[in-house]
Amino acid sequence: MINEIFNTTFITGLIGATMRMSTPIIFATLGEIITERSGVLNLGIEGTMLMGAMTGFLVTFTTGSLWAGVLAAALVGIILSLLMAFLSVHLGLSQHVSGLGITLFSTGLAMFIYRLYFGSPIVPPTVEPFRQVAIPFLSKIPVIGPSLFNQYVLTYLAWLLIPVISILLYKTKIGLKIRTVGENPFAADTVGVNVNLTRTLSLAAGGALIGIGGAFLTLAHQNMFLIDVVGGRGWVSIAMVIFGNWDPLKGAVGAVIFGFLDGLQLRLQGLGIQIPFHVFLMIPYIITIVALVGVSRRAAVPAGLLKPYRREEKGG
């Protein structure tokens, strides 16, 4: 058995699975980081991912275009995040409860629309999913080539987004605005930054990424929509934001570790190892909780997180 685990086929497969399984978490984690950096905790993430997964699937199923599905998922993510912005930013309702409300609402909605469109078929309908695209030359490198450089376009995009969002947050004016609004909305307001607008746009941008993360699950990872397709990945992403201390790079590292555990679980199951598969499914969640224990004491929570901004309630 040890030989089976340490041969190159297994390792190539494992790295590939890690890349795949971490993709939706990277998207959602990066989306949530942008949002939380602006001062809004979006607990609508789990439901938004599910709506993204469902919408992406539905649109691809009807139009036959995978990218139309991805685009639709991003749009749905934006719409749900705007609803979140209306409730938590503009009305100043509790971010915890508004977010949970959106998750419950969109979970119901996703299943409702799916049933409405497809009924209850015995065999779930499928689409022709995304195919892996090999990058010339690089994919020929032994072991890591076929796993790292023969991936879905969305996976490359997720990895590309890690530095892009880091730069956006730390090196651009927009990023400075987002961070200021999240750290000290009163100061931001004083220097003329529109706090609520910045938060709304951050939510929308984050929502688009979260929606795409959901769509990856039904258009690449699988080729069908199942009710538990997201299965807590949104919540895991929330945990990864904390694990990564609200930093895109560190958050992505967390996402990849989770992806690795998820991939390992899949690969070991594939070898027919006699451990109940539910034990494997449990491991990533337990390790996530343990990791949170490790980082929570030194967490650098954005100071404005969870607080609605009302100009007249300064310091209140």
Partner 1 sequence: MIGLKIIKRKPLPGWVKIIIPVVAVVITLIFSAVPILIAGGNLWKSYYYLFYGALGTRYNLLETFVKASPLIFTGLAVAFAFRAKFWNIGAEGQLLAGALLATWVGINFTGVPQFLLLPIVIISGFIGGGIWASIPAILKTKLKVDDVVSSLLLNYVMIHIMGTLLFGPLQQAGSSWPRSPGILEAARYPMLLARSRFHLGIPLAFLAVLIIWFINDKTVFGYQSKAVGVNIKAANFGGINTTSVILKTALISGGLAGLAGVGELCAIHYHLLMDISPGYGYSGIVIAMLGNLHPLGVVFASFFFSIVLVGAHTMSRMTGVPTYIAEVIQGMALIIMLISLLLTEYKIRVVRK
Give the Cα separation of 162 and 173 in Å (integer): 18
**With binding defined as CB under 8 A, does residue 314 bind partner 1?**
no
**With binding defined as CB under 8 A, does residue 112 bind partner 1?**
yes
91, 138, 160, 300: which one contacts partner 1 (CB under 8 A)?
Answer: 91
**With binding defined as CB under 8 A, does residue 1 bind partner 1?**
no
Instruction: Describe the crossing of helices 248-270 and 277-296 by its angle, rounded to 10 degrees.
Output: 160
DSSP designation for 38: T
188, 209, 236, 255: which one contacts partner 1 (CB under 8 A)?
Answer: 236
| Segment lying near partner 1 (by CB under 8 A), choices 23-31, 65-73, 111-119, 121-129 | 111-119
| Segment lying near partner 1 (by CB under 8 A), choices 17-25, 63-71, 201-209, 279-287 | 279-287
**With binding defined as CB under 8 A, does residue 126 bind partner 1?**
no
Of 281, 197, 297, 295, nearest to 239 (Cα)? 295
Min dist CB 294 to partner 1, Å, is 9
Phi, psi of 133 (to 5 degrees): -115, 120
Cβ proximity of 57 and 227 under 8 Å? no
**With binding defined as CB under 8 A, does residue 229 bind partner 1?**
no
92, 124, 129, 145: which one contacts partner 1 (CB under 8 A)?
Answer: 92
Give the Cα separation of 199 and 193 in Å (integer): 11
Residues in 5-64 at the binding interface with partner 1, rule: CB under 8 A: 43
Cβ proximity of 240 and 255 under 8 Å? yes
| Segment lying near partner 1 (by CB under 8 A), choices 21-29, 185-193, 206-214, 229-237 | 229-237
**With binding defined as CB under 8 A, does residue 270 bind partner 1?**
no
61, 235, 246, 258: which one contacts partner 1 (CB under 8 A)?
Answer: 235
4, 8, 65, 104: which one contacts partner 1 (CB under 8 A)?
Answer: 104
- Neighbouring residues of 123: CB distance < 8 A, sequence distance ≥ 6: none
Can you read off the two tokens belonging to residue 269? 């199951």
* Upper half-sphere CA count for residue 223 (Cβ side, 13 Å): 9
Min dist CB 170 to partner 1, Å, is 24
| Strand (E) or helix (H) holding 291 | helix 277-296
Residues in 158-177 at the binding interface with partner 1, rule: CB under 8 A: none
| Cβ distance to partner 1 smaller for residue 79 or 236 | 236
Tally of CB atoms within 10 A around 2? 6
Of 71, 70, 42, 76, nearest to 237 (Cα)? 42
Give the Cα separation of 183 and 246 in Å (integer): 12
231, 245, 268, 307: which one contacts partner 1 (CB under 8 A)?
Answer: 231
Tally of CB atoms within 10 A around 301? 15
**With binding defined as CB under 8 A, does residue 87 bind partner 1?**
yes
Binding pattern for the stretch 198-217 against partner 1, x by CB under 8 A and - elsewhere: --------------------
Can you read off the two tokens belonging to residue 210? 């979260």
* Alpha-carbon dihedral 304, 306, 307, 308, rounded to 10 degrees: 120
**With binding defined as CB under 8 A, does residue 188 bind partner 1?**
no
Which chain residues interact with partner 1 by CB under 8 A? 43, 83, 87, 90-94, 96-98, 100-102, 104-109, 111-112, 115-116, 196, 231-232, 235-236, 238-239, 242, 276-279, 281-282, 285-286, 288-289, 292-293, 296-297, 299, 310
